[in-house]
Structure 1
Amino acid sequence: MSKHCPNATNWLPPSDAAFILDPNQPVLSHGRSLAAERSIEPHAHPRGQLLWAHQGTLKVTSDTRVWVVPPSHAVWIPSGIRHQVHCETQVQIRNIYIDPSYPIQHSSSGVCMLSMSALMRELILRLTQAQVPLAPERLKRLGWVIIDELNALESAELSLPAGHDPRLIHVIQQCVRYPTTKVSLTQLASDSGASVRTLERLFKSETGLTFRQWRQRFRLLNSLERLQQGESSTEVAYSLGYQSVSRFIEAFRQQFGETPQGYARQQRQLSPHSNGVSLLCR
């Protein structure tokens, strides 16, 4: 097995709550901590899911897109959409699952990233961290409030295309699992069973980006939480492979419309109780 391939023992099953259909339980919840390099196996479920990490950053992949999700945001996954979740570092996941009998307006857009509100954070924490199980009627009332707040959350459209070809999907999955790796496209091509030329063609035709552009944008997304946690632009720039700090700052500015440190300060002010960052992209 290639050292860049995921270890099958790191795959975990999804929560059973995602498969319970009961209109009398509009919202079910599930929380768990995942160690670094763990993944939730590819799956789909009948309940819609709001996937949120109270601490840490998640990588979410569907059949067509890739999201990097810090604690200031969550991902809405409508029922029946296949997806998988990976965490590079330890994370605390707090999920809610909505019975399909309750319509969610974001579902018309498919999987999407949403900006978490302070109210939604507290509601989810109340459900997932209650010391004593809530009474059914109270749980139902809180569920209605959660659904109402979920429909009011603002979308923050930020993702990267994932493509359809199995060889391209394999390469992108390796990039998602190992975002700081220096492995070359030649090595990734060897692992995927495709030539470098074939992969370059697939990246361009299926994502609209070259491999270099795709990986640069993905690494920029991964830099956000590190900047928020206090790492300097210099530390982040060289860890991402930039030859100079000025090149990193310019690439960051083009992607997010702000310098790295200016962006981190702005997001700390917007989310004083979160160790994550807000994602804004044009």
Structure 2
Amino acid sequence: MLREKLQRAIQGDALLAAAAGGHGPARVTPRHHHAKGQLLGCGRGLITVGTGAGNWCVPAAHAVWLPPHHPHSVQSHGDYQGWSLYVAEAACAGLPATPRIIRVSPLLQAAALRAAEWKQAPPEGARAHLAAVILDEIAHAPAAPFGLPMPQDARLLRIAQALAADPAARQRMEDWAAWAGIAPRSLSRRFVQETGFSFTEWVQRLRLMRALERLAEGASVTSVALDLGYSNVSFFIALFRRSFGRTPHAYHGAAQAGEEAPG
């Protein structure tokens, strides 16, 4: 049902179109793009959006902004409820030019769900007013730190993709450098230049993003910690709380209830 709603919203020619809905089992949407800008919001659960520049975790009370013609894939984790707004390309000039995660204000949430209720076009004045509110909210929404930028250097990207496939890998940076054919010092310097994070910080961020996905799928805190390579569960809980402001258990409960997860 949600896919049909999204298709109708994508195909329309209005300044603003919206759809809302959800599903239980995890669902994967392959890489694609739209001529319109898209704001994909999460009301409950979590989705992961992949772009050429990186991967983005979208927890409850947050949304990811995707500019027009920006290729992306989408995967939901656990019991997902959300909404999607499509903005005509001409109206995207004042909106962010690159993907980003934003915090969804109560006003934006309410406006998006109201737009998704439209069965037929309402009076032009009402549509235009609501569209203006939504566009202003997108333009001024604060960014949230749930992204994982990917390096573009082929050697660094090879390492990043190998770690994404096995976040629990315990090789040292020097081992990864030798495997990819790059000097350790060059790896360290270029990782910061291309992602904004040191190699160690990037790996830690990767594991925390994967932890969010696993928790949304219902995995226990202990199994998540061990599967991600943390031999000390208490250390993992402390790291998670320092990064997201809540313990993994409290964070998962808030996500299932559709509450904002600090970050």
Q: Answer yes or no: same fold by TM over 0.5.
A: yes
**Other-structure match for 1:27:** 16
One of 183, 191, 205 as aligned partner of 1:217: 205
Q: What does residue range 6-155 of structure 1 map to in structure 2 within 5 Å?
A: 15=7, 17-18=9-10, 20=12, 22=13, 25-103=14-92, 105-108=94-97, 110-129=98-117, 132-137=119-124, 138-155=126-143
Which AA in structure 2 matches 1:142?
A: L
Cα gap change, 1:259/1:87 in structure 2, threshold over 3 Å: closer, same or farther?
closer
What secondary structure does 1:102 align onto?
Answer: helix
Shift of 1:69: 0.5
Q: Deviations over 1:171-224 (max 9, x none)?
A: 867977x8xx777599xxxxxxxx9812998986555654x7645423323445
Conserved? CA contact 2:168–2:229, under 8 Å: no
Cα gap change, 1:162/1:69 in structure 2, threshold over 3 Å: closer, same or farther?
same
Shift of 1:48: 1.0
Cα gap change, 1:164/1:32 in structure 2, threshold over 3 Å: closer, same or farther?
farther
Cα gap change, 1:168/1:136 in structure 2, threshold over 3 Å: closer, same or farther?
farther
Conserved? CA contact 1:228–1:275, under 8 Å: no
**Other-structure match for 2:149:** 161
Which AA in structure 2 matches 1:75?
A: V
* Distance in 2 separating the partners of 1:48 and 1:55: 22
Shift of 1:128: 2.1
Q: Is 1:260 aligned to residue 247 of structure 2?
A: yes
Which AA in structure 2 matches 1:17?
A: A
Cα gap change, 1:91/1:203 in structure 2, threshold over 3 Å: closer, same or farther?
farther
Which AA in structure 2 matches 1:65?
A: G
Shift of 1:94: 0.9
Q: What does residue range 180-259 of structure 1 map to in structure 2 within 5 Å?
A: 197-198=179-180, 205=190, 207=195, 210=199, 214-224=202-212, 234=222, 236-238=224-226, 240-252=228-240, 255-256=243-244, 258=245
* Distance in 2 separating the partners of 1:165 and 1:35: 38
* Distance in 2 separating the partners of 1:246 and 1:255: 14
Cα gap change, 1:223/1:121 in structure 2, threshold over 3 Å: closer, same or farther?
same
Shift of 1:264: 4.2
Cα gap change, 1:199/1:83 in structure 2, threshold over 3 Å: closer, same or farther?
farther
Conserved? CA contact 1:264–1:277, under 8 Å: yes
Shift of 1:113: 0.8
* Distance in 2 separating the partners of 1:58 and 1:199: 34
Cα gap change, 1:261/1:54 in structure 2, threshold over 3 Å: closer, same or farther?
closer
Cα gap change, 1:134/1:54 in structure 2, threshold over 3 Å: closer, same or farther?
farther
Cα gap change, 1:261/1:171 in structure 2, threshold over 3 Å: closer, same or farther?
closer
**Other-structure match for 1:274:** 258
* Distance in 2 separating the partners of 1:167 and 1:15: 38
* Distance in 2 separating the partners of 1:236 and 1:170: 25
Conserved? CA contact 1:62–1:83, under 8 Å: yes
Conserved? CA contact 1:69–1:75, under 8 Å: yes
Cα gap change, 1:229/1:83 in structure 2, threshold over 3 Å: closer, same or farther?
closer
Q: How many positions carry a matched residue from both structures?
A: 247
Which runs of 5 or more structure 1 residues have no equivalent in the other structure? 1-11, 187-194
Let me know the Cα RMSD of the aligned residues.
Answer: 4.2
Conserved? CA contact 1:252–1:260, under 8 Å: yes
